[in-house]
Structure 1
Amino acid sequence: MEGLQSLPRNIGGSVQPTFQIYGPLLVKNADAIRSTKCETFTYGGHPRQKLDVYYPTQTQRRPSLASNNVPVLIFLHGGGLVAGSKNIPGFADGLAHANVGHFFAEKLGYTTIIPDYRLMSHGARFPSGGEDLAQVVDWVTETLSRQDGYSSIDLFIMGNSAGGIHLATYMLTADFAASRRKVMSMDPEVPVSLRGIVLLSVPFNFKQTDQSRADVLKAYFGEDVHAHSPQGLLRAAMLKDPDDVFSNVKVMVLNGTLDPEDEILDPKADFLKEWKGLNEDSLAAVTVDMMEGQNHISPPLSLGTDIEKEEAWGFQVGTFLSSLRSSG
């Protein structure tokens, strides 16, 4: 976090210097990060569709007091639709995003799943990010739930930046209604219950996006970029059936105080204004919070550093998730 204040707030200008700040901090804690048990699985037919599962130790596992369900968190990394990986090559000895899995497993007791998803170079086109996430959710339901100790799961999903776009796509489009119904039905016969989502520094619309990304956005989203943005999807879902938007699931919208105003914070305000048109239950479902001193790139890199002020936002998320698990 030291030094972030002096960096450019725009996304492109903050990437490399932020990585330079956090690389040594992660390497310093490499032994602890690598001590967390991790297994890799395939969740789909494309070579990119693999995921890492980070397991808490038996002493760290914390089934819900209300339901005895085991908590599982899916984390979707960012990367602007063109980059990003569950383990970023050439950075910090491959510790990112293993540090995220380590933090949530070791310090909060969540079995943490970090998938790769298809990028533009793999032919990704809207709504492919939602498709990949739906397949990960299916993997949790059909595979993880058959492992010893996972017969009943409280599921949470956090999407960071572009990963949050894919999470919004999954939650707000009709393409994935069947997948959502399966894990949001509250049916005791279904082994997985989606309890909450976290939208972490998500670009909810692209009205002020840097022009350098215009071609990528058009290639991924098609001609009507704004209709397929998270805010556009929210508007369409509200017009179709406002009572079904985020039904039975709680939402946290979380941003860094150093997130850029134009590409992130202003669109967040637009998204939340749109949300005010929902019903009272949906309005009550959203929690809005800030990560003090974090910029757009730093949050995933700051976990696993074992530095209190760096990891504070992870505990903010943990408090939100715990409140949902304690409510039954």
Structure 2
Amino acid sequence: MKPGSKTIRGVALACLLACAVSFSPVGAVQPTVVMSGATSAIATGVPGAHVLRDIAYGDHPRQRFDLYLPVTTRRAPLIVIVHGGAWANGDKNHPGLIPEKARHWLPRGYALLSTNYRLVPDASPLDQVRDVAQALAHVKRHAGDWKIDADNIVLLGHSAGAHLVALLAASPDLRGEAQANSVRGAILLDSAAYDVQHVMGKPHPALYDRAFGSDPDDWRAASPFARLSRGAPPMLAVCSTGHLRAACEQAHRFARRAADLDVRVDVLPQDLSHMEINRHLGRPSSYTERIDAFLDHVLAGRGAP
């Protein structure tokens, strides 16, 4: 095989997606509180911030989320974070997922929610996005208890998590299930699965077969490209400009589809790897500044910090 061939790119993409987040077991199923400066490394350098861990939003052990709360005198806008891991792996506590984001956004008055969801083969991507929707509905019901502004929520996902976030944002039916029609925007970190039918109709890594199966009806049902409709919230699709170009190619196709429906999808190419796009977000950089600008835009006049 020649360097740069489609086969090599596909194998490398499969490795990146599958290894994006390694699985670690869920801890205690009852919520626990970890105070800043105590045993939680996540809260280091964020005075007064605290974490509510393993809040149950369903009966399955994977249906748990962690909630990171800032010190604030008013209700905090919420960023809902969905991990990656090829739909079959990953965890809300992965060390590359939260720390930089928490150190950046908690002092700015944002709350963060990092959620787990059931995994392939026990759950399909549609089941998974409904898990995310269920977590979102749960936090909205208890928003007053946690001083969260339920009308100011932005979704953020990486890799497979970006696909789930895009699917939730694109579909009015799924947003309705989550009581999430007030979601203000979505940040999509390096997904290569916006158009699932397109992906499955060409040579692709086996991980897509494990996630999406062989039924074209299932491909369409799980495709943000197919389910996108007018009225969807603005989205920002970040993509790696590395030698694996599938993410940027798909992001631009998704943005063109959105433009036809009067939905705003901006594409933000970055000279970062698939992993770095997730792990570097929150570090001082023009990249983080661009994400902040998107948050300022979608939350303008709606309680943004």
Q: Same fold (TM over 0.5)?
A: yes
The yes-or-no answer on 1:271 pairing with 2:254 is yes
5+ residue gaps, structure 1, are 1-7, 20-29, 64-68, 89-94, 185-192, 238-243
Secondary structure in structure 2 of the residue aligned to 1:48: coil
How many Å separate the matches in 2 of 1:270 and 1:16?
Answer: 23
Note the alpha carbon deviations across 1:49-77, whole angstroms, 9 max, x for none.
0001112234xx7x6xxxxx521100111
How many Å separate the matches in 1 of 2:18 and 2:174?
Answer: 35
Pick from 280, 294, 298: which aligns with 1:320? Answer: 294
What is the Cα deviation at residue 179 of structure 1? 3.3
How many Å separate the matches in 2 of 1:31 and 1:108?
Answer: 19
Secondary structure in structure 2 of the residue aligned to 1:159: strand
**Amino acid in structure 1 at the alignment position of 2:236:** M
What is the Cα deviation at residue 286 of structure 1? 2.8
Determine if contact 1:158/1:197 at 8 Å carries over to the other structure: yes
Pick from 260, 277, 281: which aligns with 1:299? Answer: 277
The yes-or-no answer on 1:133 pairing with 2:132 is yes
How many Å separate the matches in 2 of 1:162 and 1:148?
Answer: 28
Note the alpha carbon deviations across 1:130-181, whole angstroms, 9 max, x for none.
21111111112111x121533654111112221122123223346425236x
How many Å separate the matches in 2 of 1:17 and 1:216?
Answer: 15
Determine if contact 2:18/2:86 at 8 Å carries over to the other structure: no
Determine if contact 2:190/2:277 at 8 Å carries over to the other structure: no
Secondary structure in structure 1 of the residue aligned to 2:65: strand
Cα 1:56–1:270, aligned 2, differ >3 Å: closer, same or farther? same
Determine if contact 1:55/1:111 at 8 Å carries over to the other structure: yes
What is the Cα deviation at residue 46 of structure 1? 1.0
What is the Cα deviation at residue 250 of structure 1? 2.0
5+ residue gaps, structure 2, are 1-7, 22-38
Pick from 150, 153, 156: which aligns with 2:154? Answer: 156
What is the Cα deviation at residue 231 of structure 1? 1.6
The yes-or-no answer on 1:75 pairing with 2:81 is yes
Secondary structure in structure 2 of the residue aligned to 1:87: coil
Equivalent residue number for residue 183 of structure 2: 194
**Amino acid in structure 2 at the alignment position of 1:198:** I
How many Å separate the matches in 2 of 1:72 and 1:259?
Answer: 34
Secondary structure in structure 1 of the residue aligned to 2:86: coil
Determine if contact 1:72/1:153 at 8 Å carries over to the other structure: no
Report matched runs for 1:53-132 at 5 Å: 53-58=67-72, 70-88=76-94, 95-121=95-121, 123-132=122-131
The count of aligned residue pairs is 265
The yes-or-no answer on 1:39 pairing with 2:52 is yes
How many Å separate the matches in 1 of 2:17 and 2:167?
Answer: 25
The yes-or-no answer on 1:287 pairing with 2:251 is no
Cα 1:51–1:277, aligned 2, differ >3 Å: closer, same or farther? same
**Amino acid in structure 2 at the alignment position of 1:323:** H
Note the alpha carbon deviations across 1:15-35, whole angstroms, 9 max, x for none.
79999xxxxxxxxxx986342
Cα 1:209–1:196, aligned 2, differ >3 Å: closer, same or farther? farther
TM-score (norm 1): 0.69
**Amino acid in structure 1 at the alignment position of 2:65:** L
What is the Cα deviation at residue 127 of structure 1? 1.2
**Amino acid in structure 1 at the alignment position of 2:277:** P
Determine if contact 1:79/1:162 at 8 Å carries over to the other structure: yes
Greater helix percent: which structure? 1
What is the Cα deviation at residue 323 of structure 1? 2.1
**Amino acid in structure 2 at the alignment position of 1:272:** A
Cα 1:222–1:114, aligned 2, differ >3 Å: closer, same or farther? farther
Determine if contact 1:196/1:250 at 8 Å carries over to the other structure: yes
How many Å separate the matches in 2 of 1:200 and 1:18?
Answer: 12
Secondary structure in structure 2 of the residue aligned to 1:120: coil
How many Å separate the matches in 2 of 1:255 and 1:169?
Answer: 17
What is the Cα deviation at residue 105 of structure 1? 3.4
**Amino acid in structure 2 at the alignment position of 1:39:** L
**Amino acid in structure 2 at the alignment position of 1:42:** A
Note the alpha carbon deviations across 1:196-236, whole angstroms, 9 max, x for none.
111221221315563332431343x74445423222223xx
What is the Cα deviation at residue 128 of structure 1? 0.8
